[in-house]
Structure 1
Amino acid sequence: MCEVPVPVSLLKKSYDEELQKTAAAIRHQLAKGGERPYREVLDVSCADGQSKGMAPNTFMRQVLAACLYPELLQDDSLPVDVRQRAESMLGACDGGSVGAYSDTCGNDRVLASVSEFISRRDGGLAADPKHTHLYITSGHQRGLMVILKLLACGRGQTQQQPAVLIPEPHPHTLPRLLDVIGLAALPYRLQEDRGWGLEKTELQRVIQAAGGRYNPRAIYIPNPGDPTGHVQDRRTIRQVIEFAAEENLLLLVDEVYQDCVFGEGCEFLSYKRALFEMGPASSGAVKMASFNSLSNGTLGECGLRAGYMELVNFEDAVLPFVEILLMGDISPPVIGQVGLDVMARPPCPGEPSYSRYIQVEVMCCKNILRENAAKGRSLLNSLPGVNCPPVRGGVYLYTHLTLPQVVGIHAGLVYCQRFLEEEGVCLGLTECGDSSAIGTCCYLRICILMPTHKLCDLLRRLASFHLRFLLRRLASFHPLNLLPSEAPGVISPAHP
């Protein structure tokens, strides 16, 4: 008998919100002059690299500065290609100002840059207007939300709850988004012992188990994986596309970490390129929405709020509804669109800013990710009860933590809260869905998009804490007398 899928919000319990509340309380204490063995809280649960000390890209910031303050265009200290880019962007804005609205779907100049970027990425594959449609959005989740709302509204006369297949593990923000919109989340399991690989048989299992209770409408695919850091190969991508065609599912492809592939022998292959390589039977039939963002990856401009969404093989009758839902924003942030244009159209060889942009800053960021992943895995895998699988892309170390039974039913939360209180570091946390492991097994999400010296300091603190934590619990824990200071949500002074 097939296991009936359970909405992921019921299947797994995330304690990220609880930890964020604790982190906020500690920050408040520090601001009031409270004494702690640290001066600030470092949040490594999210992919905001600049909050962790990563420097912004120079060309990006120079263009933004000149667009915001056009008097700088007369300043010879700015490279000529910066001034040319800023003049071109201002010329594409209404009134020659980034303070004016753009079109709801994005500035035409930026849309053209994104279209050319996709074509270069996919080996010259053109964005055929008969099959594809581009939209600039205020972050990739805004575009995802629009498509999910369309799926939720299109349930028709059926009493089945519309559902989306999502990976297990999944991005930590995804379940709440689905819950708010009213879509069930049907988890398909990635295989940890195979580098978080995906098999078509697992997808078929989920569809069969859904039975008559759910109406699967789409499958969500993050590639590179978020938070697992796996990178799908051509075989896997083709199998997923074939599965989507067989089950008439919309492909929701999250590709925000496409420029963060650093594993040896790995390369990013877009779902769109793989789709069109499979020939007309698939390229003209399978519907796909793909997403990218300025917030994630090597540029990491989270605060500018810009991304794009490409729709493939959507019916013309659906497109007006996409625009209607996007109209709630009036227009995407224009200064974010300037940043997106830089991402899509970086300096070219021979231009003054090319060497620093590509060879110094972008490649430096990738090298930092590669080095941090190696250092992090080496240290974590040396600790008792810790296993960090290989990471080939993305910005996280997704780490399996197994704690002794004596720690208690909220072991993962107690562990992360004590680490936060004693060392000032906020980890991402997900409890295991297996009921036999709840309380003793969890996954830690650690962002590695930060200067290497900061990561090394974090790792030293984590290793020291981990051993202290295990020794204290094994020596003093009594299963019927959980210390009040270790109850979830309670902050107590750090102790040695």
Structure 2
Amino acid sequence: MSTSRLLSPLHLCGKSASLHRHKSAVSVSVRSLLCSENQKSHRMMASYQPSLSIDNINPNVKVMEYAVRGPLVIRAGEIEKELEKGVKKPFKEVIKANIGDCHAMGQQPITIIRQVLALVSYPKLLDDPRFPEDAKERARTLLKGCRGGSMGSYTDSPGIEVIRRHVAEYIERRDGIPADWQNIVIGGGASDAIKNVLKILICPIDGKKPGVMIPIPQYPLYSATLAEFNMAQIGYYLDEANNWGLSVDELQRSITEARKTCAVRAIVVINPGNPTGQVLTKQNIQEIVKFAHKEKLFILADEVYQHNIYDPNSEFHSFKKVMHEMGEPYSQMELASFMSASKGYMGECGLRGGYAEVLNMHPDVRAQYLKAITAMLCSTTLGQACLDVIMNPPQEGEPSYELYLKEKTSVLESLKVRAKMVADTFNSMEGFSCNTVQGAMYAFPQFKLPPKAIEAAKAKNQAPDAFYAFELLESTGICVVPGSGFGQRPGTHHFRTTILPQTDKLKDMLDKFAEFHAQFLKKYS
């Protein structure tokens, strides 16, 4: 063993060096050399400057923001740590109503989904009699579609073929019109699938930056992604007075103004709405399609909440079906529609399963789109397997059907009750107005703030609704997202809250909210 291994700098520097004074002159020399090298190393570390600084990183990353995981959520996490350490608060827990994370808020998994995931993850369970035969058959089908019969293998970049076929069959059942499995691309959640399509649009036109029309209020994935991709965000306001409906006049105003500075390439529509909870009528969708055709826009239809319809007078209509019914030329327009395993009745957010159905894309463009997807290899296989069960659920007569139907119905009926509970509560509070939550998983109420509160917000350099949300968090432990993170008409104040806390906890949350609001008005009036 070498001398340098025997004599470490820890032993040779400082007080411990006295233990070695009896060593030979050679040992002393080695000690001196090692101490010298150690000091030199410290000097080098002290003078080292990182190659990356805030001034030389991607500027697009610096400007992008994602409100649903922003400063309020960071503070909520800090408060949770404080509670764990025994810090006294006027509440016992943080209620994270900021994000549509169903299972985190107490929703139980759908049994058949978790059974299939267990079976494909550990195929020896296929011999276990506790698993129903239809779950085993689904698992065998999935494993057969994997290389080496293992979910640990890479899949084709657009996803496992049999799952893509099941997605197409699901769309056919939903819309009553044919769907080609080769138009299906599976991604790591709808977010991944959406970004893959937006990526194709990054190209200046006639020297102008590309732009995308998005609804205001919008889901911050879009504003964040457009900032990341250095694309122009073109907001069109939803009509709050008309239950967050969409006006063609507003679309025209928005695009006319935007074309002065950018090249408008596409329009995003979120239906059912996030954060607004509205469900578009068929007539509204037809108007959007005609507008997109006139303005030569690619349509991105975010339809991840298509199962979440609560209002008896509302119905989900897919863009694909409406365009098909409208006939040519509308049925020939470019469309990408998106669906996710994260929402609906299943709420499997963490598994990251979603799909895009991409229609009428030029063959040359489609080839480049698919090429870009191959660079990411493939989405997670467990997310794909989860999506498969959603697309290919138990049918009547199969062993799992009755339990599946009971669980699915229970989740959606409970969400329907909670949607009404949330809207009714906010509408009963002074200064609040909240549209009917027709669908999705959120309410986006408007509230009026006293001038004194607005002045206090300015003094803290905060948006007024962010100021309100921070006070709510510190006083009650309830975490919501300020409307300024989604976009809103100037001079209005909103926040987004989920309807996901289980009924008892939601009632408790709303009671605390009402009490806080009364105290807030008293404090700042």
Is TM > 0.5 for Structure 1 vs Structure 2?
yes
Q: Residues 66 and 224 of structure 2 are in contact (CA less than 8 Å); yes or no, is this contact kept in structure 1?
A: no
Give the SS at the match of 1:280: coil
Correspondence for 2:122: 69
User: What is the one-letter code of the residue matched to 2:498?
Assistant: C
Matches within 5 A, 1:114-129: 114-123=167-176, 125-128=177-180
Is structure 2 residue 241 aligned with structure 1 residue 193? yes
Query: In structure 2, what is the Cα distance between the partners aligned to 1:336 and 1:355?
Result: 24
CA apart distance, 1:223 = 0.7
User: What is the one-letter code of the residue matched to 1:164?
Assistant: V
Query: In structure 1, what is the Cα distance between the partners aligned to 2:66 and 2:97?
Result: 19
Give the counterpart of 2:426 among 380, 383, 388. 380
Correspondence for 2:521: 470
Q: Residues 66 and 220 of structure 2 are in contact (CA less than 8 Å); yes or no, is this contact kept in structure 1?
A: no
Q: Residues 68 and 99 of structure 2 are in contact (CA less than 8 Å); yes or no, is this contact kept in structure 1?
A: no
Structure 1, unaligned runs of 5 or more:
1-8, 475-496
Give the counterpart of 1:455 among 506, 511, 520. 506
Query: In structure 2, what is the Cα distance between the partners aligned to 1:268 and 1:121?
Result: 10
Correspondence for 2:35: none
Give the SS at the match of 1:259: coil
Query: In structure 1, what is the Cα distance between the partners aligned to 2:445 and 2:499?
Result: 12
User: What is the one-letter code of the residue matched to 2:518?
Assistant: L
Cα distance 1:56–1:246, how it changes in 2: closer, same or farther (>3 A)?
Answer: same
Matches within 5 A, 1:1-400: 17-123=70-176, 125-128=177-180, 133-152=183-202, 154-156=203-205, 158-284=206-332, 286-358=333-405, 360-400=406-446
User: What is the one-letter code of the residue matched to 1:314?
Assistant: M
CA apart distance, 1:56 = 0.7
1:327-379 deviation digits (Å, cap 9, x = unpaired): 23211100111100001000000111111112x11111111111001111111
Aligned residues: 454
Query: In structure 1, what is the Cα distance between the partners aligned to 2:524 and 2:106?
Result: 34
Q: Residues 160 and 212 of structure 1 are in contact (CA less than 8 Å); yes or no, is this contact kept in structure 2?
A: no
Cα distance 1:229–1:434, how it changes in 2: closer, same or farther (>3 A)?
Answer: closer
User: What is the one-letter code of the residue matched to 2:219?
Assistant: P
Query: In structure 2, what is the Cα distance between the partners aligned to 1:453 and 1:26?
Result: 23
Give the SS at the match of 2:375: helix
Between 1:403-412 and 1:384-393, the stretch displaced more is 403-412
Cα distance 1:363–1:433, how it changes in 2: closer, same or farther (>3 A)?
Answer: closer
CA apart distance, 1:33 = 3.2
User: What is the one-letter code of the residue matched to 1:79?
Assistant: P
Query: In structure 2, what is the Cα distance between the partners aligned to 1:37 and 1:211?
Result: 51
Structure 2, unaligned runs of 5 or more:
1-61
Query: In structure 2, what is the Cα distance between the partners aligned to 1:18 and 1:92?
Result: 43
Between 1:25-34 and 1:221-230, the stretch displaced more is 25-34
Query: In structure 2, what is the Cα distance between the partners aligned to 1:237 and 1:29?
Result: 48
Correspondence for 1:442: 493
Give the SS at the match of 1:469: helix
User: What is the one-letter code of the residue matched to 2:509?
Assistant: L
Q: Residues 368 and 449 of structure 1 are in contact (CA less than 8 Å); yes or no, is this contact kept in structure 2?
A: no
Taking structure 2 as the reference length, what is the TM-score of the superposition?
0.83
Q: Residues 224 and 231 of structure 1 are in contact (CA less than 8 Å); yes or no, is this contact kept in structure 2?
A: yes
Which has more radius of gyration?
2
Query: In structure 2, what is the Cα distance between the partners aligned to 1:60 and 1:450?
Result: 22
CA apart distance, 1:211 = 3.6
Correspondence for 1:4: none
Query: In structure 1, what is the Cα distance between the partners aligned to 2:180 and 2:104?
Result: 39
- Percent pairwise identity: 35
Query: In structure 1, what is the Cα distance between the partners aligned to 2:426 and 2:483?
Result: 17
Q: Residues 16 and 429 of structure 1 are in contact (CA less than 8 Å); yes or no, is this contact kept in structure 2?
A: no
Cα distance 1:433–1:398, how it changes in 2: closer, same or farther (>3 A)?
Answer: closer
Query: In structure 2, what is the Cα distance between the partners aligned to 1:164 and 1:237?
Result: 18
Correspondence for 1:406: 452
Query: In structure 2, what is the Cα distance between the partners aligned to 1:32 and 1:85?
Result: 46
Between 1:252-261 and 1:418-427, the stretch displaced more is 418-427
Query: In structure 2, what is the Cα distance between the partners aligned to 1:28 and 1:446?
Result: 22
Give the SS at the match of 2:363: coil
CA apart distance, 1:16 = 5.8
CA apart distance, 1:15 = 8.5
Cα distance 1:184–1:266, how it changes in 2: closer, same or farther (>3 A)?
Answer: same
Cα distance 1:146–1:361, how it changes in 2: closer, same or farther (>3 A)?
Answer: same
CA apart distance, 1:406 = 1.0
Query: In structure 2, what is the Cα distance between the partners aligned to 1:40 and 1:330?
Result: 41
Query: In structure 2, what is the Cα distance between the partners aligned to 1:327 and 1:218?
Result: 24
Moved over 6 A (4+): none
User: What is the one-letter code of the residue matched to 1:332?
Assistant: S
Q: Residues 15 and 413 of structure 1 are in contact (CA less than 8 Å); yes or no, is this contact kept in structure 2?
A: no
User: What is the one-letter code of the residue matched to 2:175?
Assistant: D
CA apart distance, 1:325 = 2.1
CA apart distance, 1:386 = 0.9
CA apart distance, 1:469 = 1.4
Q: Residues 90 and 98 of structure 1 are in contact (CA less than 8 Å); yes or no, is this contact kept in structure 2?
A: yes
Taking structure 1 as the reference length, what is the TM-score of the superposition?
0.88
- Give the CA RMSD over aligned residues: 1.9
Give the SS at the match of 2:233: strand
Query: In structure 1, what is the Cα distance between the partners aligned to 2:156 and 2:162?
Result: 11
User: What is the one-letter code of the residue matched to 1:150?
Assistant: I
Query: In structure 1, what is the Cα distance between the partners aligned to 2:103 and 2:129?
Result: 28
